[in-house]
Amino acid sequence: MKKTIFKVLVDFSMLEPFYSGFGQYSFYLGKALSEIAKKDDRIQFTFIVPPSFVGEFEPHIKIITHSRILKRLPSFIKSLIFRKYDLIHLTTQNSRYLSPKIPTVVTIHDLDFVEEDIFNFPTKQSKKIGKMLQYSELITAISEYTANELKDRFNAHQLPMEVIYNGVKNHSMPIIHSKIISPKAKFLFSIGAFSGKKNFRVLVEMLAELPDYQLVIAGKNQTEYAQKIRQSIQEKKLENRIILAGEISEEDKHFLYQHCTAFVFPSILEGFGLPVIEAMHYGKPVFLSTLSSLPEVGGKEAYYWESFEPTEMKDVFIQKMTEYQQDPQKPSQIKQHASQFTWEKASKEYFEAYLKVLTLR
């Protein structure tokens, strides 16, 4: 009897920008799926990737180049082009490759756009996700929080849905030099694109209450919100203690994780919060808000701010840092928590999800 080999198309068109959340997710999931495909030939993968990533994956992975022309083709033409595939995985809600006639798995990362819905009028993105849910055999979400938001906001309680957590790439090599800040400095670190949801403003206000610390915030900062942060820094005369590093390299990012005193992340809206696990991978104390997915991801090994009032944030920080420093087991416990989130585990769960959809049809 001839063995069935399924053809699965995976949309990794969001590999660019590479250092974005979608870029990192796409790259490391693609690499992990490639490793599975070396050993398990039940699925033949084809990846859709930007031109700069052609040749980045293993030779046994077939490639379609993501292009402006391809993504703008009408859905029925894409369906004709992709009809030879048994399944397509749309790895983000921003995918342009929905093909209603092809069995589909869709991954939803967050519902940030909901904030843009005015008077409950659906945005373009809201309508798009509704259509994705309608035509998908399986919906995957990157956290229970995102899954519950989907169920409630799209009345999707009856739709087939699974939670598959993101992984974290293991960067174990010590990095001892960076132009951003001295490894001997006593500093707090945060990272993310500068937008209101990241809530960096409260870190500036807290730092004014912590005269012994510096603060480094990395991430795209050519935004209106970033300008407000700069104004706040100037008003509080903290220019010498706060570094807005902008977009940084992987090496600099991991230098900052390795050498920071603590990772601080008061975000009010996260689908997952990958930097939290990246910092915990180094056994660092992480301080988070109690909102959205962060308590789910940080678990009992993280510390939480229940208020954004600067003095209260400072008091929590000092109290919990003292506890951390007095508990020699805490770093290893934090690392153990982070070790649950691997791309190997995530890719296996996606692989099994593909097979479940394919064999149940």
What pLDDT digit, counting tens, does each position of 26-57 carry?
999 999 999 999 999 999 999 999 999 999 99
* pLDDT value of residue 123: 74
pLDDT band at 71 (very low <50, low <70, confident <90, very high): confident
Rounded to whole angstroms, the Cα distance separating 105 from 164 reads 12
Instruction: Give the pLDDT mean for 294-299.
Output: 98
* pLDDT value of residue 126: 85
Half-sphere exposure of residue 57, counting CA atoms within 13 Å on the CB side?
Answer: 31
Residue written as token pair 């030879």? 84
* pLDDT value of residue 290: 98
Q: Find the farthest-apart pair of alpha carbons in the chain and give their distance in angstroms, rounded.
A: 75
In order of 220, 221, 267, the CA distances from 193 in angstroms are 5, 7, 11
Residue written as token pair 């190997």? 344
* pLDDT value of residue 119: 44
Q: Which residues are CB-contacts of 287 (< 8 A; sequence separation ≥ 6)?
A: 262, 263, 264, 265, 266, 302, 303, 304, 305, 316, 317, 320
Instruction: Give the pLDDT mean for 322-335.
Output: 98
Task: Give the mean pLDDT of the chain.
Answer: 93
pLDDT band at 242 (very low <50, low <70, confident <90, very high): very high
What percent of the chain clears pLDDT 90, i.e. is strictly above it? 83
Residue 61 has pLDDT above 80, yes or no: yes
List, in sequence order, every residue forming a beta bridge with 191; answer none if it has no partner. 218
Residue written as token pair 């373009």? 124
List, in sequence order, every residue forming a beta bridge with 106; answer none if it has no partner. 90, 139
Nearest to 22 by CA among 268, 280, 30, 34: 30
* pLDDT value of residue 115: 57
What pLDDT digit, counting tens, does each position of 81-101 carry?
899 999 999 999 999 999 988
What pLDDT digit, counting tens, does each position of 111-169 carry?
887 655 544 555 788 888 999 999 999 999 999 999 999 999 999 999 999 999 999 88
pTM of the full structure: 0.91
* pLDDT value of residue 114: 66
